[in-house]
Amino acid sequence: MIRVLIADDEPLIRAGIRMILTSADDIEVVAEAANGREAVDLARKHRVDVALLDIQMPVLDGLTTLAELGRTAPGLRTLILTTFGERENVLRALREGGAGFLLKDSAPAELIGAVRAAAQGDAYLSPAATRHVVESLAAGAGPSRGEEAQRRLAALSEREREVLALLGEGLSNAETGRRLHMSEATVKTYVSRILAKLECENRVQAALLARDAGLGV
């Protein structure tokens, strides 16, 4: 079972997320917190696998809570819940080791999939959030940045470039596999190979490189 903590200062939001997650037979919501400080305390107490953190909470906001959990519970995977995706918040979340961003109006299946992906050690960004993040971070990219990205992508095979293009659109491994007629396990192998070749720490960094290089645009 994937043990989950939900941290949001709105009880109705927590209740809705709990209802969605508990519909999956491999997910258990073991704790709920109304602020960041409670989230940190409960995560340690309940041996949580994945924490869903609202970006705006009293006492400690989601990003500060993320950093604190990184220090006190290094094995915990965290997903930031948000209604927006500002550049500074995304960069800080990734820098602090967050497993990704998830929009609050995401479909139930996407929420469950994100928790499962995080529990497996994968970074996750909802497709809508990925497009927003990549576009905002890539805005104003100069020719030198694009040239550098193209140089790095030259190390990829044609198939790896196809996988990277879909990764840049925010598709999951399963969705990419369906699009390219490959198994999910094969896609995961390709993604790992791509990250290694590009010297990227996560899927989002690779997606930004793809955008800078004009791949799939």
Q: What is the pLDDT of residue 197?
A: 94
* pTM metric for this prediction: 0.68
pLDDT digits (tens, 9 = 90+) for 135-158: 555 555 555 677 888 899 999 999
Pick the CATH number of 135-212 from 3.20.20.70, 3.50.50.100, 3.40.120.10, 1.10.10.10: 1.10.10.10
Helical segments of 73-119, H only: 87-95, 108-119
**Residue ranges matching CATH 1.10.10.10 in the chain:** 135-212
The boundaries of every CATH 3.40.50.2300 domain in the chain are 2-125
Residue whose C-alpha is closest to residue 173's, from 120, 129, 215: 120
Mean pLDDT of all residues in the chain?
84
Give the tens place of pLDDT for each residue, 80-102: 887 765 556 666 676 666 777 78
Q: What is the pLDDT of residues 17-75, one digit of tens each?
A: 999 999 999 999 999 999 999 999 999 899 999 999 998 899 998 889 988 998 888 78
For the domain made up of 2-125, give the CATH fold.
Answer: Rossmann fold (3.40.50)
